């Protein structure tokens, strides 16, 4: 994505400014935390005439421009600032932004558009940098921002898992506060349980109250072990809760599953049995998709499993038929050159058009079949 495209895309939603030059300066400010000497910073980016050309695309950005932003001389490069700003935009605005970049980034969604645009912008800046050390450092900063954005998106799922109290042993602070208007406000924040582990893995993330979050440094092995134990308890409790059937979801899943079985002929050969691997071994090229699928699996897996098994026992349909339907549909997509995100989306669209089911239900079911192996094979 060209720099001018980003300015054009974000100019209006982020109210960057009236003139092209002002928009470029404002965007550079958002990307730079604690700017010292804003005038010098803006001068280093280039004069108004040059900035206008950058914004219109009539002149490509160069190394001087990029290193003024990422070099740290005027402030710290901070892509999180842009991710936060975009995250605060209304749903429909984020959805519209995602629609506009989807031709180049197929997995862009209202949820991840801030992360997607910050990554693209960083790549654009890195591409024109002359200094290889600065190139590497900037790419690393962007990776850390992306992981942080993934953790923030995991917050609702982790809160659901945690319930309302801080899971740190010995602490029982609430994870919510009531604000002046009487609304509930989340005060807890996502912490990485073991800093040596994967910081984008839901199983290595937990919500702590702000107090514990500030004190927890991830350097004391005893506390890491305590937190891991607390996390396991939360997961067990979540599994137990998932067995309590929410009525709306139950009928949705029954309906979708029955609709799949109804169109699946009985005489097809049985799907090949693949070995069970973890989701992240099967989805290897799409980090955000892993987070999404694992999230669905964490919340819905036990419930979908018991619902489909119940249906099977009632004799209304055969679970094997549904399993085959997913397997056959996946096989028809697997040989195309679609990315894993595109295959996931195609599977969801297929299920929606087949069953007229709600998107959440269909995404949960596709995730379930990824987990039980009909969709995506692990590289072995
Ligand atoms: Zn606490």
Do 97 and 66 belong together in one domain? yes
Do 251 and 216 belong together in one domain? no
What distance in angstroms lies between residue 299's CA and the mean position of ligand 1's atoms? 24
Local confidence band at 311 (pLDDT 50, 70, 90 cut-offs): low
Tokens of 339: 């990315």
Read off the pTM: 0.51
CA–CA separation, 37 vs 331, rounded Å? Answer: 58
Q: For position 276, what pLDDT does the model report?
A: 40
What distance in angstroms lies between residue 260's CA and the mean position of ligand 1's atoms? 45
Mean pLDDT of 94-110: 85
Domain boundaries, position 224: 163-237
Query: Residues 347, 350, 355, CA angle at the centre, nearest 5°?
Result: 125
pLDDT, one tens digit per residue, over 167-185 is 998 887 888 776 666 666 7
What distance in angstroms lies between residue 225's CA and the mean position of ligand 1's atoms? 16
Domain count along the chain = 3
Q: For position 125, what pLDDT does the model report?
A: 94
- Domain presence at residue 379: no
pLDDT, one tens digit per residue, over 244-277 is 545 566 667 777 777 776 665 554 444 443 334 4
What distance in angstroms lies between residue 165's CA and the mean position of ligand 1's atoms? 8
What distance in angstroms lies between residue 213's CA and the mean position of ligand 1's atoms? 7
CA–CA separation, 210 vs 214, rounded Å? Answer: 6
SS3 249: helix
Do 66 and 178 belong together in one domain? no
What distance in angstroms lies between residue 170's CA and the mean position of ligand 1's atoms? 8
Tokens of 237: 């409790």
What distance in angstroms lies between residue 234's CA and the mean position of ligand 1's atoms? 15
What distance in angstroms lies between residue 183's CA and the mean position of ligand 1's atoms? 21
Q: Of 135-144, 156-165, 273-282, which gets the smallest average pLDDT?
A: 273-282
SS3 177: strand
- Domain presence at residue 67: yes
**305 pLDDT higher than 70:** no
Higher pLDDT, 338 or 380: 338
Do 209 and 261 belong together in one domain? no
What distance in angstroms lies between residue 142's CA and the mean position of ligand 1's atoms? 30
Task: Specify the residue for token string 């990029």.
Answer: 66
Beta-bridge partner residues of 165: 174
Do 251 and 314 belong together in one domain? yes
- Domain presence at residue 242: no
Do 81 and 204 belong together in one domain? no
**327 pLDDT higher than 50:** yes
- Domain presence at residue 155: no
Q: For position 366, what pLDDT does the model report?
A: 87
- Domain presence at residue 89: yes
Do 26 and 72 belong together in one domain? yes
Do 227 and 256 belong together in one domain? no
Higher pLDDT, 47 or 283: 47
Select from 175, 203, 237 the last residue of a domain. Answer: 237
What distance in angstroms lies between residue 227's CA and the mean position of ligand 1's atoms? 11
Do 331 and 364 belong together in one domain? yes
Do 198 and 259 belong together in one domain? no
Contact residues for 315 (Cβ-Cβ < 8 A; gap 6+) = none
Q: For position 310, what pLDDT does the model report?
A: 62
Q: For position 275, what pLDDT does the model report?
A: 37
Q: What percent of the chain has pLDDT over 70?
A: 81
Do 21 and 85 belong together in one domain? yes
Select from 122, 150, 178 the last residue of a domain. Answer: 150
- Domain presence at residue 339: yes
- Domain presence at residue 158: no
CA–CA separation, 293 vs 278, rounded Å? Answer: 11
- Average pLDDT of the chain is 81
What distance in angstroms lies between residue 209's CA and the mean position of ligand 1's atoms? 4
Mean pLDDT of 341-370: 85
Select from 96, 128, 150 the last residue of a domain. Answer: 150
Do 278 and 335 belong together in one domain? yes
| Strand ranges for the chain from DSSP E | 32-33, 76-77, 176-178, 184-186, 189-192, 205-208
Beta-bridge partner residues of 267: none
Q: For position 182, what pLDDT does the model report?
A: 60
Q: For position 243, what pLDDT does the model report?
A: 58
> Cα-Cα-Cα-Cα dihedral of 147, 153, 156, 162, to 10°?
0
pLDDT, one tens digit per residue, over 200-246 is 677 889 999 989 988 998 899 999 999 999 999 988 887 776 655 45
SS3 235: helix
- Domain presence at residue 302: yes
Q: For position 269, what pLDDT does the model report?
A: 43
Mean pLDDT of 68-80: 92
Mean pLDDT of 132-142: 90
């Amino acid at each position: 994505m060209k720099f001018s495209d980003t300015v054009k895309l974000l100019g209006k939603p982020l109210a960057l400014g009236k003139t092209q030059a002002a928009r470029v300066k404002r965007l550079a400010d958002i990307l730079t935390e604690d700017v010292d000497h804003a005038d010098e910073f803006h001068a280093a980016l280039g004069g108004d005439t040059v900035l206008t050309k950058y914004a219109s695309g009539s002149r490509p950005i160069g190394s001087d421009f990029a290193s003024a932003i990422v070099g740290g001389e005027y402030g710290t490069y901070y892509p999180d600032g842009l991710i936060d700003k975009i995250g605060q935009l209304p749903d429909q605005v984020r959805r519209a932004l995602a629609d506009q970049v989807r031709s180049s980034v197929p997995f862009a969604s209202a949820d991840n558009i801030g992360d997607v645009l910050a990554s693209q912008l960083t790549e654009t800046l890195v591409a024109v940098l002359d200094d290889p050390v600065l190139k590497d450092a900037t790419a690393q900063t962007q990776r850390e921002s992306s992981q942080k954005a993934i953790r923030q998106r995991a917050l609702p799922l982790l809160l659901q898992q945690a319930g309302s109290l801080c899971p740190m042993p010995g602490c029982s602070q609430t994870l919510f506060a009531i604000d002046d208007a009487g609304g509930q406000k989340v005060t807890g924040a996502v912490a990485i349980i073991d800093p040596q582990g994967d910081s984008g893995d839901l199983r290595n993330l937990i919500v702590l109250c702000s107090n514990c979050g500030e004190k927890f440094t991830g350097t004391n092995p005893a506390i890491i072990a305590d937190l891991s134990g607390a996390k396991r308890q939360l997961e067990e409790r979540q599994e137990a809760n998932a067995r309590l059937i929410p009525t709306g979801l139950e009928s949705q899943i029954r309906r979708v599953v029955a609709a799949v079985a109804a169109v699946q002929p009985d005489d097809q050969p049985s799907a090949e049995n693949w070995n069970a691997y973890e989701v992240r071994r099967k989805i290897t090229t799409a980090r955000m998709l892993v987070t999404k699928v694992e999230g669905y699996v964490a919340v819905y897996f036990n419930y979908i499993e018991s619902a489909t098994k119940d249906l099977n026992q009632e004799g209304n349909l055969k679970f094997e038929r549904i399993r085959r339907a997913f397997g056959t549909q996946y096989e028809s997509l697997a040989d195309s050159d679609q990315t894993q995100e595109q295959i996931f989306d195609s599977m969801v669209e297929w299920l929606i058009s087949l069953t007229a089911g709600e998107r959440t239900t269909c995404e949960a079911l596709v995730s379930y079949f990824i987990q039980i192996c009909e969709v995506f094979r692990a590289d072995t």
